[in-house]
Structure 1
Amino acid sequence: MRNITPSLLLVFCIILGLVSGMFSSKSVILSSIEIFKTHEWLSPQPVIYFHCQGENKIILPDVKEKNFVYKFKGIESWQPIAGFPDKKCKRCGLYELDRLKSDDVFDEWELCPDEFLEGNYVHYKQKEFNATFACTECMTRVE
């Protein structure tokens, strides 16, 4: 067996740290949401989901009533709702499943990791919804 020098071991650890950092993701959770209206006329309870371009739809199974504030702990089976593998923004939105035509859009926007002030980001769309997202790894300090 070969002897590993301390300098070679140090270089290996640095490279391993850089590579593992490239594949880590900053997780975004939904902390709270309130929808102000629903779009589906035929269904008594809407199916609301969050979706970022290129990722899976995340159905929010508890969100059924308008004008009710839903609060989440981040440990629900459908959390996290998104992740940032790097500093790039993502095109995301909140939607309502429509059984007859294309899904209804509450809003679509650019979700960016640097907008999480103190680890939180609030997105409000007038007459549609108000949501708070959390990403502790995305934390930007307010000074």
Structure 2
Amino acid sequence: MSALTHCLRVEMAHAGVRVSLVEPGAFATAMLDRAIDDLTRADRGGAEGYDRSRALFGAVNARVPGPEPVARTIEKALTSPRPRARYTVGLDARVLVPLHTVSPLWLSDRVKHKITGLPHTSPVRAGAAKETA
């Protein structure tokens, strides 16, 4: 989404269209409730990672504010004569977005798997598909 937004901002600048990216952190919405339901449906046998992720999402949803700060930020971007290119909303977003920018993707993925306990597969080495074909 970030790359698409940056491309659109550059492509539409000549037409006077300003494009901003709003990156919200965790806020209490039905999205986390649906994620918990999705994890429940995906769990085939009580895997620890699914239980841990459900508990994590439930705890986050109980502790974070509602979506009002995100709505205010969107309103600010829409009404500003010079909107910023990027708005991060929420403490977790203000920490995680820069962290994702400077850390390698494999490290970010490893941290997420460690926190959630969800299973993951090893990365496929370049050329591995050719060896098995």
Same fold (TM over 0.5): no
Between Structure 1 and Structure 2, which shows a larger proportion of helix residues? 2
Where relative contact order (Cα < 8 A, 6+ residues apart) is larger, the structure is 2
Indicate the structure (1 or 2) with the bigger Cα radius of gyration: 1
**TM-score, normalising length: structure 2:** 0.20
Counting strand residues as a fraction of each chain, which structure ranks higher?
Answer: 1
